[in-house]
Amino acid sequence: MKLNASRPSFTEVLFPFGPPQDTAETQQALDLYKVMVQSSEGLVSRRQGVNTFFLTMNGALLTGAGLVLQNSGGNTIGALGIAVFSVTGAILCGAWRSLITSFGQLNRGKFQVINAIERHLRAAIYAAEWEALGRGEDPKIYRSFTSREIWVPNALLALHLLTLVTSVAVYTELVKLT
């Protein structure tokens, strides 16, 4: 075993016995292609579920902070409660951002496999779509969903941090709410 053995190429990993040579092998590649497309669709569904979860949690935390603010009369104990909601929200937003990035990376990898298999099929519809979108090089033609989707947890993170700073200022009596 070589210590400095080079890693196999992407194509060597995908087609360890070489590209499809006959109808049976092409059919097998098509079946695997279908599995990858379904896997990508499943990933998108999971991603939507994760986004719904995090939006719901952030909404609940912000509602809770609002209720504490409404019922605390601006006292320091209320500010401490709001700080707890804010820290929790900030942590959730960080986790959400990380998951969005991971989902984007995973789906990008799935489409690399899909596009590689398409090269051995009669039509390469996803590769053609990517080409029609300028291969993602011109943001006027195409921007990734991930690059836009990340705005939501970023905005909520900023809101949670602003709320945290304000609640700490109230708790330390730098600011008085009356």
3-state secondary structure the chain: CCCCCCCCCHHHHHCCCCCCCCHHHHHHHHHHHHHHHHHHHHHHHHHHHHHHHHHHHHHHHHHHHHHHHHHHCCCHHHHHHHHHHHHHHHHHHHHHHHHHHHHHHHHHHHHHHHHHHHCCCCCCHHHHHHHHCHHHCCCCCCCCHHHHHCHHHHHHHHHHHHHHHHHHHHHCCCCCCC
Asked whether residue 97 is assigned to any structural domain, the reply reads: yes
Provide the domain count of the chain: 1
Asked whether residue 151 is assigned to any structural domain, the reply reads: yes
pLDDT digits (tens, 9 = 90+) for 13-63: 999 999 999 999 999 999 999 999 999 999 999 999 999 999 999 999 999
Asked whether residue 75 is assigned to any structural domain, the reply reads: yes
Asked whether residue 55 is assigned to any structural domain, the reply reads: yes
Q: Which domain holds residue 122?
A: 23-171
Asked whether residue 44 is assigned to any structural domain, the reply reads: yes
pLDDT in single tens digits along all 178 residues of the chain: 455 578 888 888 999 999 999 999 999 999 999 999 999 999 999 999 999 999 999 999 999 998 988 888 767 788 889 999 999 999 999 999 999 999 999 999 999 999 999 999 989 999 999 999 999 889 899 998 899 999 999 999 999 999 999 888 888 878 776 6
Asked whether residue 67 is assigned to any structural domain, the reply reads: yes
Asked whether residue 8 is assigned to any structural domain, the reply reads: no
